[in-house]
Amino acid sequence: MLFNAQTTNRYAEDVLQGVNLVAATVAGTTRPFTGSTPAQLAPAVEAIDLESPLPSTAAALEELALVYLKDAVYFHDTKYAAHLNCPVVIPALVGEAILSAVNSSLDTWDQSAGATLIEQRLIRWTADRLELGGRADGVFTSGGTASNLQGLLIARNQAVAKLRLDPRREGSRLPALLDGLRIFTSEASHFSIAKSASLLGLGYDAVVPVACDSRQRMDPQALRAALDNSVARGETPMAIVATAGTTDFGSIDPLPAVSALARDYDSWLHVDAAYGGGLITSLRHRHLLDGIGAADSVTVDYHKTFFQPVSSSALLVRDAAMLGHVTYYADYLNPESAAREMTPNQVDKSLQTTRRFDALKLWLTLRLMGADGIGLLLDKAVDLAADTSGILSADPDFDLAAPAQLSTLVFRYLPAGTDDARADAVNRHIRKTLFASGEAVVAGTKLAGRHYLKFTLLNAETTLEDIREILGLIRRAGRDYLTDTAGVPA
Ligand SMILES: *Cc1c(COP(=O)(O)O)cnc(C)c1O
């Protein structure tokens, strides 16, 4: 069943069968989920004998419909409002089909040829829209976690290189140099920052959490104080990580103030725009990213606010030379001679080796919908979040944690007279009840130790009517729970 010049008919027929199955399944979905539990789904998967292949693609797809597609969680459904998963655009799906079949690997030119140029154009397009300047460069990665790790690895190596110039540290071994490095990021930043610190040999303790204002944006005064304290202790501010779109609140740190502090304290500025990065295509909200062009490195997730299928992300740097921190010349793959000959081997810039041609999905999206097409979809989600924010703040049964900033809302069901302990219990119950019913999927999070519900809105097709219906489901589940448990201590 190898794909080659002799099997193109089989290829076209079989892939089309798969595509038709997904199309029919999606056309038939009426809710985001069936509510099936792991215990309900596991037996069917377990019962399959992997040593006994099926006779036809049709049979394998029939089986797959039962063990996967029937009970998958569907992000295109307008009552899916949980995590940062987007409905995907069709041009990107065309790209996905092409890139898998050709199977280019973006590590070296001799495995990717033109694909490398397409990736490079899209990196330049992204860097230009971020206003990173003429020397910027970058590379596609598997996700925001990987992009953040690479950004912080570069920051770490830059900091170490600077320390090595200090005559007092002459002869110091690497662990001693890493010891005093610190990363400053807000309390609302993504956990991949802490994980990166751990992976980079700095430990979780190297991350200094900076307080936020009431809207979960990093407080520049608190940042300055944290920097001062750290420097007074003899530590080195290796990096400041600002978030442009926090995962829970969509809050965007004050980028101009934070970048001024990064300059003052001679620190690397990484902006985690995994979520907010899509604003570079926005027709009405681009200003929310004002100041991002001052960053040394930026993370952008195309698989969030650019409506691309997983995976698709990029790490951008203001100075292309900084990518040299991950360059390793391997004789069998990307010898130094190739670099001297200016062969564009993207592995020179990447933590990965074999790497998907994810850029093709964004390429076809831009060629068919244009940046404005993406921006329109995102703007609708941002507007919907603002309208939902209005509904929630006007409703006495709900407690909205902060007004909408991007396209998320953190809130809890809190009818008058509900104490905190009962509020925690009822909101946990609501989330589980909705998921078990499959009628709607919402997320949950914690704020100041209390349980909240969360909407992440990325679907331009979702209407305020959908939101009202989800709120109705929430209210019903909450009211039932409070009635059933009245008088029972939480
Ligand atoms: C989603 C997210 C990440 C992680 O990105 P993945 O693509 O899931 O690895 C990092 N930072 C922020 C702010 C995010 O929202």
Residue keyed to tokens 């040829």: 113
Residues 353 and 378 reside in one and the same domain? no
Q: Which pLDDT belongs to residue 486?
A: 87
3-state secondary structure 167-236: HHHCCCCHHHHHCCEEEEEECCCCHHHHHHHHHCCCCHHHEEEECECCCCCECHHHHHHHHHHHHHCCCE
Residues 64 and 125 reside in one and the same domain? no
Mean pLDDT, the chain, rounded, equals: 97
> What is the rounded CA–CA span in Å between residue 115 and residue 359?
8
Say if residues 160 and 301 touch (Cβ distance below 8 Å). Answer: no
CA torsion 321-323-329-334 (nearest 10°) is -100
Q: Would you say the CB of residue 112 lies under 6 angstroms from ligand 1? A: no
Q: Would you say the CB of residue 275 lies under 6 angstroms from ligand 1? A: yes
Residue keyed to tokens 């944690």: 401
449-478 per-position pLDDT tens digit: 999 999 999 999 999 999 999 999 999 999
Q: Atom 3 of ligand 1 has which residue's CA nearest to it?
A: 144
Residues 375 and 474 reside in one and the same domain? yes
Pocket test for ligand 1, best of 145, 289, 302, 458 (most atoms within 8 A of CB): 145
Centre of ligand 1 to C-alpha 313, Å, is 9
Closest CA to 258 of 299, 289, 304, 230: 289
Q: Would you say the CB of residue 145 lies under 6 angstroms from ligand 1? A: yes
Centre of ligand 1 to C-alpha 276, Å, is 10
Provide the 10 A C-beta neighbour count for residue 395.
Answer: 14
Q: What is the DSSP letter of 89?
A: P
Q: Which pLDDT belongs to residue 490?
A: 59
User: What is the span of the domain harbouring residue 163?
Assistant: 105-357
Helices 8-28, 90-102: inter-axial angle, 10-degree rounding:
150
Residues 129 and 254 reside in one and the same domain? yes
Residues 308 and 169 reside in one and the same domain? yes
Spans of the chain below 70 pLDDT: 489-490
Q: Would you say the CB of residue 251 lies under 6 angstroms from ligand 1? A: no
Residue 107 structure tokens: 């590590």
3-state secondary structure of 244: strand
Task: Determine the atom of ligand 1 nearest the C-alpha atom of 192.
Answer: 10
Q: Which pLDDT belongs to residue 489?
A: 67
Residue 480 placed within a domain: yes
Q: Would you say the CB of residue 61 lies under 6 angstroms from ligand 1? A: no
Residues 217 and 195 reside in one and the same domain? yes
The total of structural domains in the chain comes to 3
> What is the rounded CA–CA span in Å between residue 321 and residue 108?
18
Residues 351 and 371 reside in one and the same domain? no
Residues 271 and 390 reside in one and the same domain? no
Residues 137 and 23 reside in one and the same domain? no
Residues 398 and 470 reside in one and the same domain? yes
In total, the chain counts a number of residues equal to 490
125-161 per-position pLDDT tens digit: 999 999 999 999 999 999 999 999 999 999 999 999 9
> What is the rounded CA–CA span in Å between residue 405 and residue 398?
18
Q: Could you tell me the pTM of the whole model?
A: 0.97
Q: Which pLDDT belongs to residue 488?
A: 76
